[in-house]
Structure 1
Amino acid sequence: MATSSWHVTVAGRRGRSPELRNLVDLLRFRAADQPERIAYTFLLDGEAEEAQLSYAELDRRARTLAAELVRRGYAGERALVVFEPGLDYITAFLGSLYAGVVAVPVYPPDPLRAGRTLARLQSIVQDSQARVLLSNHAVLNCAEAVFARVPELETILALEELEPARAAEWEPPEFTSDSLAFLQYTSGSTGAPKGVMVSHGNLLHNLQQLHRLDGPRPVGVAWLPPYHDMGLIGGVLWPLYSGGQIVLMSPLSFAQRPVRWLQAISRYRAQISASPNFGYELCVRKVSEAEKSRLDLGSWSLAINGAEPVRPETLARFADAFACCGFKPSAFYPSYGLAEATLLVTGGAKHRPAVIRGFCPERLERDGLVVPRRPREGGRRIVSCGWPSRDQRVVIVDPRRCIELPQGSVGEIWVSGPSVALGYWNRPAESQAVFEAVLRDTGEGPFLRTGDLGFIYDGQLYVTGRLKDLIIIAGRNYYPQDIERTVEQCHPALKQDGGAAFAVEQDGEERLVLVHEVQRPGKVDLPSLAAAIEQHVLAEHDVRPHAVVLIAAGTLPKTSSGKTQRATCRAQFLAGTLSVLYEWRANAPCPNPNHEPTEPTTPLEARVAEVWRDVLGVPRVGRHESF
């Protein structure tokens, strides 16, 4: 989607800006208009210890890095941006843009999981053809051996080694709204990660849509990884457009103590904060009554829920749990988006309760038709993801015939508009198939094929599942997330968002397989638990599982952004490489099949195995287990 004519103007303290065509123009305007205002606050310990950057200081640091990159001849190249979450990451990302360098954000490799993280790093380096890596001493000291095994990188540049005087040498690069800003590598839920080409125009348009949700000089809080669309655009870049302040913390700080997220909202009187559904669920389970008594969430007016299916039960539980803290249910803002559309595609109505409707599950699964039910009639309850953002169009399409379906039909979600990215880096065939789809009956296009299934009802988008994950048994469609939800509700020992449902072929027919993580399995009767899962799924969905596989907590394959990798899980099931605690099959139960943990070989591995034995409550942990 070409965006060369896209430009914006934004409000400042002294009036509106001139036309802005890229993020460099945007930050330069903010630095001139409100130089001393704090743009970013990073909570080093997740709580009180702060590091801060003003707009003027961020601009100076970005110019310093950009001048050095240009001096070394990297203008127009790609640069890996490899940092732990923090202010250095923001400096390096924006400094790359200041140099006309295409930023490639990447998770820092984990030396303790070098085999796994090195493969992804090498894949991204080879695909992006990046020649320079930007980082800091903290990361380089830990991962130097990993980076040494990537010979394609000719330069590794640490921010601490830059000369501040270089800032004066910087000259603005020449590019348009259609110029490439960064490559957003997908999480790799299937196959090798692909680089989504996001232009400056894509960013400005999507940030403009997000800005319509906030107020003047807003304050936000974010804990999401800054390497992906929701954390990067919805967290790091949003305040640049709005001229506000964002308070950041590491995802690890949130995972260790979810209450830290809510404490930051309370302390800084934030109005905006976002999380996937599991983050809200984690707070419900982990925040104590004593901790709630010290929270004030009355300022939180926009609680964005996206990046994964939004569960109505979670919205109700969170609203009930934190009503005593001043949280208002009308703050919930369910949304739908994806990296290929920069971020936001659709969203609900601000300051209004989320729309949740019941639909006939049989008609959805059997016929792909939408038949609403009254609240007292039950049915499958689905949360609306709202309306398309301005200048965007969403249509529901038959994925095989490529024709638009009437309202009330389930099909693939297609999107067009200025936020749709330019394509996949160096993948022209895939880019044409995904980003240049055309409706065969009308010739309209191009559209982005999202690969997601959904329908439009009363003008609003409802997402039902993922096209590639759809399970078809005996001609009936089953959505894996519905079955996974049924499984996790069977017993408290089953981990929330810790399961995968998929189909395998057996005797020429598709059969259902369920894999789920068990917490502290030593305290659970695993055969009885597997039997309960089988009976619950049969009763709820009218399909009998072929296999129920209970695995150790923390071993379900997931992407770096926390999404379940069903295809990888299926491959591991077929290969017999899951960390199985107990497996039941329709014909014969077989506890712990083919799973004999490999003993640790070093003192460090022995210590790590001992810690995980205590955490998981299992007798043995092998050196090849994945956590």
Structure 2
Amino acid sequence: MRPRGRAPGEDRPTAGDRGVTRAVPDPPPTALARALAQTFADRPERERIVIRSRQGARDVFTGDRLAAEAGAVARALRGWLGPGPHSLVLALPAGAEFVVTLLGGLLAGVTLVPVPVPRPGSHSDRFRHIAADSGAAAVLCLPAHAEAVAAALALDGTPPCPVATLPLDPARLPDPVRPAAAPDLPVAVIQYTSGSTRLPRGVRVTPDNILANAVLVARCWGVDVHARFVNWLPHYHDMGLMGGILYPLLCGGFSAQMSPLDFIRRPALWLEAIADERAGFSGGPAFAFADCLRRIAPDHAARLDLRCWRRAFIGAEPVPAGLPAAFHAHFAAAGLAREAVFACYGMAEMTLFAAGLPGPDRPPPSAEAARAVAPCRLTPELGAGLAIVDPIARTRRPEGAEGEIWLRGPSRGAGYLGLPGDTAETFGAALDDPSDASGWLRTGDLGVIADDALYVTGRIKDVVFCNGRTLAAPEIEWLACGSSDVLNPMAAAVFMPDPARGGQAVLLAELRLGETPPDPDTLRRTIRRAVTGEWGLDLVEILFLPRGRLPRTSSGKIRRRAAAELWRDGAWPPETVPSVKEMPECPS
């Protein structure tokens, strides 16, 4: 990752805007653009990215092809947009168009805002908010999605920017919205977090943030020019965008890209792709590993060859303590090593990665709060950028004590777009210690450090108070939903119906696809006995919902506070089991 030379497409382009030709001066290339150009130029005939179809067909992008196609996009963008800075919303599905447009935009120095394609008829204001908040010059999409994109932009009035479709034909491109003001530093990507009940906030991620985090991952996981990745994670989420697409390229390696929908329809396609591509690096959220355990039969697992899979990383949400070992046991016959399966931790505000290494099993921690979750192992480098803090006193907590996770280092993003107050509170946190005060990011997550490992126990705001104890919502959900195979422990929400009254909670639990409890009342009694027996917590209401009904973040995490608001607004009738016929195919 030693940047050198000029990026493809950095010669002065001449492009047309509505048929008018104009010359656009080259902006100075960022270090990120130079690093990408170096990967394209080093052994240009080598496969760098492959787009896999559901049937296993491979659309191969060599370094030469990426340089040519991404360079052409970079020139077209400069000719269309003119002198920057500019931001563009990328509302593109997973696949070749997104990859080439992403790389072309980064080469051109455009700030990119990846988002999911809006669904036709969607009434969410999230899409329009992102386009307006980011100051986008336009939204780029495929022609087939232009109508849905335009409708989403116009949902609450005048669209904040025009819609442009691929390919970038100068004669068809609309006039872009001009930026109101230049940012104070280069921003490569604006990653929008889903929030809970509020509109999403845009995390400004700089080129230097991306390079620093890629180097950190490379050092911790041993990523080098021989590394081979398989990625099915959404390209508009940090884990898929950074860890699945950009980091393999920046480290000089290779990645095979799958559609997230292919994984959802048939999880075995993911592991088959790992075996086919001889990939050593691939991962996802805890629910993905749990789905593989449930939906891939032992005889099918034994027919796979997973000896190549050295880094099976589990992240994006708290990881149940027994999940890595259970996953290994299920796929050990395929050659998967136990130390290859491990939990990791990170967030968009830190670009992506903050903790987690492969390694052997370890004894359960002595800290009670940490026993329900898997460890994220730490190196001295990772530990130096991490603190467990009393969020009120802003002092470090001792080893084994629970507190808020604070992070710092060169991967820390540049703050929230247009929100100086939130930026100061979250990205500019300071400890009550003059010798170790500034530069911290408040994560809002709870955790424990014990025996050179971080245990992520939950969110500060996702807790339930009961009999003088503070219980993490995921731990309650896992125990409750473990009472029946028809429930999904990774798709539930526990919250207090009245935050002022402890000892009571509501459980919303999604049914697995095609399942329904044979006797809902008996199942409710079983769940109540388990939860009351463990903590003395009274589940005053238990609702069973169709798969996909709980609100989620872009990474698939359950938005518990949003679910609580929906419950309080009467979104679901009490004590009912919806028909399985209502269940959608996809949980997003």
| In 1, Cα distance between equivalents of 2:423 and 2:187 | 15
1:531 offset after TM fit, Å? 1.0
- Judged with a 3 Å threshold, the aligned counterparts in structure 2 of structure 1 residues 41 and 139 are, in CA distance, closer, same or farther, namely farther
| In 1, Cα distance between equivalents of 2:164 and 2:567 | 42
- Judged with a 3 Å threshold, the aligned counterparts in structure 2 of structure 1 residues 38 and 148 are, in CA distance, closer, same or farther, namely farther
Structure 1 segment 348-359 matched on structure 2, within 5 A: 348=357, 350=358, 352-355=359-362, 357-359=364-366
1:183-222 CA distance string (max 9 Å, x none): 0001233311100000011000000112222243211101
Residue 253 of structure 1 aligns to a residue whose secondary structure is helix
| In 2, Cα distance between equivalents of 1:92 and 1:148 | 24
Q: 2:67 aligns to what?
A: 59
Structure 1 segment 404-419 matched on structure 2, within 5 A: 404-419=396-411
Whether the aligned pair in 2 keeps the contact of 1:306 and 1:337 (CA below 8 Å) is: yes
| In 2, Cα distance between equivalents of 1:498 and 1:269 | 31
Q: 1:135 aligns to what?
A: 141
Which amino acid is 2:468 matched to? Answer: G
Which amino acid is 1:200 matched to? Answer: P
Whether the aligned pair in 2 keeps the contact of 1:530 and 1:550 (CA below 8 Å) is: no
Structure 1 segment 1-400 matched on structure 2, within 5 A: 9=2, 22-45=31-54, 47-74=55-82, 75-112=84-121, 114-116=122-124, 119-140=125-146, 143-147=149-153, 149=155, 151-162=158-169, 179-212=186-219, 213=221, 214-348=223-357, 350=358, 352-355=359-362, 357-359=364-366, 361=368, 364=369, 380-387=371-378, 390=381, 393-400=385-392
| In 2, Cα distance between equivalents of 1:404 and 1:177 | 32
| In 1, Cα distance between equivalents of 2:500 and 2:205 | 45
Is the aligned partner of 1:533 residue 2:539? Answer: no
| In 2, Cα distance between equivalents of 1:56 and 1:177 | 34
Is the aligned partner of 1:495 residue 2:495? Answer: no
Q: 1:516 aligns to what?
A: 509
Q: 1:424 aligns to what?
A: 416
| In 2, Cα distance between equivalents of 1:406 and 1:496 | 31
| In 1, Cα distance between equivalents of 2:454 and 2:506 | 30
Whether the aligned pair in 2 keeps the contact of 1:341 and 1:420 (CA below 8 Å) is: yes
1:153 offset after TM fit, Å? 4.8
Residue 83 of structure 1 aligns to a residue whose secondary structure is coil
Which amino acid is 1:504 matched to? Answer: P
Which amino acid is 2:424 matched to? Answer: Q
Residue 440 of structure 1 aligns to a residue whose secondary structure is coil
Instruction: Identify the range of structure 1 (452-461 vs 481-490) with the bigger mean alpha-carbon deviation.
Output: 452-461
Q: 1:375 aligns to what?
A: none
Which amino acid is 1:426 matched to? Answer: G
1:413 offset after TM fit, Å? 0.7
Whether the aligned pair in 1 keeps the contact of 2:546 and 2:582 (CA below 8 Å) is: no
1:59 offset after TM fit, Å? 2.0
1:62-106 CA distance string (max 9 Å, x none): 222222222223521110011100121111122222222110111
| In 1, Cα distance between equivalents of 2:215 and 2:79 | 33
Q: 1:556 aligns to what?
A: 550
- Judged with a 3 Å threshold, the aligned counterparts in structure 2 of structure 1 residues 10 and 101 are, in CA distance, closer, same or farther, namely closer
1:105-141 CA distance string (max 9 Å, x none): 11100104x113xx11111012111121122234336
Is the aligned partner of 1:450 residue 2:450? Answer: no
Which amino acid is 1:614 matched to? Answer: K
Aligned pair count reads 546
Q: 2:541 aligns to what?
A: 547
| In 2, Cα distance between equivalents of 1:11 and 1:292 | 44
| In 1, Cα distance between equivalents of 2:89 and 2:467 | 47
1:396 offset after TM fit, Å? 1.0
| In 2, Cα distance between equivalents of 1:397 and 1:496 | 29
| In 1, Cα distance between equivalents of 2:70 and 2:348 | 25
| In 2, Cα distance between equivalents of 1:198 and 1:523 | 45
- Judged with a 3 Å threshold, the aligned counterparts in structure 2 of structure 1 residues 229 and 42 are, in CA distance, closer, same or farther, namely same
Residue 160 of structure 1 aligns to a residue whose secondary structure is coil
1:543 offset after TM fit, Å? 1.8
Is the aligned partner of 1:441 residue 2:433? Answer: yes
Which amino acid is 1:465 matched to? Answer: G
Q: 1:374 aligns to what?
A: none
TM-score (norm. length: structure 1): 0.82
- Judged with a 3 Å threshold, the aligned counterparts in structure 2 of structure 1 residues 409 and 507 are, in CA distance, closer, same or farther, namely closer
1:484 offset after TM fit, Å? 0.2
Which amino acid is 1:554 matched to? Answer: G
- Judged with a 3 Å threshold, the aligned counterparts in structure 2 of structure 1 residues 506 and 420 are, in CA distance, closer, same or farther, namely closer
Which amino acid is 1:563 matched to? Answer: K
Whether the aligned pair in 2 keeps the contact of 1:334 and 1:354 (CA below 8 Å) is: no
Whether the aligned pair in 2 keeps the contact of 1:10 and 1:241 (CA below 8 Å) is: no
The two structures, once aligned, show a CA RMSD in angstroms of 2.7
Which amino acid is 1:93 matched to? Answer: L
Q: 2:581 aligns to what?
A: 614
Q: 2:179 aligns to what?
A: none
Q: Give the share of equivalent positions with the same residue, in percent.
A: 32
Which amino acid is 1:517 matched to? Answer: E
Instruction: Identify the range of structure 1 (552-561 vs 481-490) with the bigger mean alpha-carbon deviation.
Output: 552-561
TM-score (norm. length: structure 2): 0.87
Whether the aligned pair in 1 keeps the contact of 2:4 and 2:34 (CA below 8 Å) is: no
| In 2, Cα distance between equivalents of 1:239 and 1:422 | 23
Whether the aligned pair in 1 keeps the contact of 2:238 and 2:348 (CA below 8 Å) is: yes
Residue 414 of structure 1 aligns to a residue whose secondary structure is strand
| In 2, Cα distance between equivalents of 1:389 and 1:235 | 25
1:36 offset after TM fit, Å? 1.6
- Judged with a 3 Å threshold, the aligned counterparts in structure 2 of structure 1 residues 232 and 389 are, in CA distance, closer, same or farther, namely farther
- Judged with a 3 Å threshold, the aligned counterparts in structure 2 of structure 1 residues 52 and 426 are, in CA distance, closer, same or farther, namely same
| In 1, Cα distance between equivalents of 2:184 and 2:343 | 29
Structure 1 segment 548-587 matched on structure 2, within 5 A: 548-578=542-572, 580=573, 583=575
Which amino acid is 1:104 matched to? Answer: V
- Judged with a 3 Å threshold, the aligned counterparts in structure 2 of structure 1 residues 263 and 506 are, in CA distance, closer, same or farther, namely closer
Which amino acid is 1:425 matched to? Answer: L
Whether the aligned pair in 2 keeps the contact of 1:133 and 1:156 (CA below 8 Å) is: yes
Which amino acid is 1:129 matched to? Answer: G
Residue 461 of structure 1 aligns to a residue whose secondary structure is strand
| In 1, Cα distance between equivalents of 2:196 and 2:213 | 24
- Judged with a 3 Å threshold, the aligned counterparts in structure 2 of structure 1 residues 151 and 410 are, in CA distance, closer, same or farther, namely same
Whether the aligned pair in 2 keeps the contact of 1:402 and 1:439 (CA below 8 Å) is: yes
| In 2, Cα distance between equivalents of 1:419 and 1:389 | 16
1:151 offset after TM fit, Å? 4.1
Query: Which segments of 5 or more consecutive residues in structure 2 lack a partner in the other structure?
Result: 6-28, 171-181
